[in-house]
């Protein structure tokens, strides 16, 4: 029964064309009329097939976007040890008061990011259940891009500080673990953006998702 449904759904145009050809032959329709009718059916069938293929591709990329959004939220936000904010909070263990001030300011930003990302994920789940996710696909992509772009600014700030000021070994090890997993996420996000740019004609460019940098040169603490 399922095979029959698939054949009818994908090959309805050929079935109708065959039926029209038989009817035209039986009732001796003029060749011009028969060719016109068959041509119209064929065009409609081709258009329907193209639209159906695009819808399937959109559904597939929509699923990927939902997955990558959930991955970003659970791995790099909230109470995750791989959150850049968790890494920044470890700087409270140092004796540098300037780092404390910066970490304290980032702590306020973390609350905003957590609220934003949580609300974003909730809206995404609701629209997925109601079938409206595909309609707002571009908006969701743009919002996730904006969220990750602003998030990356904190990653970049931490990297610049780590290049200038000696940081605890544990903090740097935690940051390097973050870099590996975050860059894997960034590569997947780039690939998804490339697909969506082709299918949904989105305006976000893959290179706009930047990779995190490892701290290769560790500053030496000055003698007091």
43 and 120 assigned to the same domain: no
Any domain includes 41? yes
Which H or E run includes 10? helix 2-26
Q: Is 218 within a domain? A: no
pLDDT above 90 coverage of the chain, percent: 29
User: 């740097």: which residue's tokens?
Assistant: 172
The residues, any chain, with a CB within 8 Å of residue 76's CB and separated by 6 or more, are 82, 83, 84, 151, 178, 182, 185
Between 191 and 8, the more confident residue is 191
Helix axes 31-76, 137-164, angle to 10 degrees: 30
Same domain for 188 and 136: yes
Residues 67 and 38 in one domain: no
Q: Is 221 helix (H, G, I), strand (E, B) or coil?
A: coil
**Where in the sequence is the domain holding 189, given as residue range(s)?**
56-208
Q: How far apart are the first and last CA of the chain?
A: 82
Model pLDDT for residues 1-31, shown as the tens digit of each residue: 443 344 444 555 566 767 766 776 666 677 7
User: What does the block give as tokens for 203?
Assistant: 């305006």
**Residue closest to 154 by CA, chosen among 200, 108, 190, 122:** 108
Q: Provide the domain count of the chain.
A: 2
> pLDDT tens across 34-85, in order?
677 667 766 666 666 555 555 666 677 778 888 899 899 999 988 888 999 9
Amino acid 224: pLDDT? 41
User: Same domain, yes or no, for 21 and 105?
Assistant: no
Residue 118 covered by a domain: yes
Q: Which residue has the higher pLDDT, 34 or 163?
A: 163
Instruction: Please check whether residues 43 and 101 belong to one and the same domain.
Output: no
131: left (phi over 0), alpha (psi -120 to 50) or beta: left
- Other CB atoms within 10 Å distance of the CB of residue 196: 22
Helix extents (H) in 27-168: 31-76, 84-89, 97-129, 137-164
- Compute the residue count for the chain: 224
């Amino acid at each position: 029964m399922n095979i029959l449904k698939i054949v009818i759904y994908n090959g309805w145009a050929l079935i109708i064309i065959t039926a029209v050809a038989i009817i035209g032959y039986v009732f001796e329709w003029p060749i011009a009329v028969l060719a016109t009718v068959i041509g119209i059916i064929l065009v409609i069938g081709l258009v329907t097939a193209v639209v159906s293929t695009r819808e399937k591709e959109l559904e597939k990329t929509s699923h990927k976007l939902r997955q990558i959004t959930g991955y970003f939220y659970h791995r790099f936000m909230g109470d995750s040890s791989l959150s850049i904010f968790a890494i920044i909070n470890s700087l409270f263990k140092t004796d540098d008061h300037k780092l404390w001030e910066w970490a304290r300011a980032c702590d306020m930003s973390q609350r905003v990011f957590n609220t934003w990302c949580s609300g974003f994920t909730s809206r995404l789940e609701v629209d997925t259940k109601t079938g409206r996710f595909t309609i707002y696909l571009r908006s969701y992509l743009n919002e996730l891009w904006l969220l990750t772009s602003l998030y990356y600014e904190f990653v970049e700030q931490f990297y610049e500080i780590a290049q200038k000021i000696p940081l605890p070994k544990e903090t740097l090890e935690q940051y390097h673990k973050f870099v590996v997993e975050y860059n894997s996420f960034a590569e997947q996000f780039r690939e998804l953006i490339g697909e969506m740019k082709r299918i949904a004609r989105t305006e976000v460019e893959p290179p706009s998702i930047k990779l995190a940098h490892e701290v290769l040169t560790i500053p030496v603490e000055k003698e007091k």
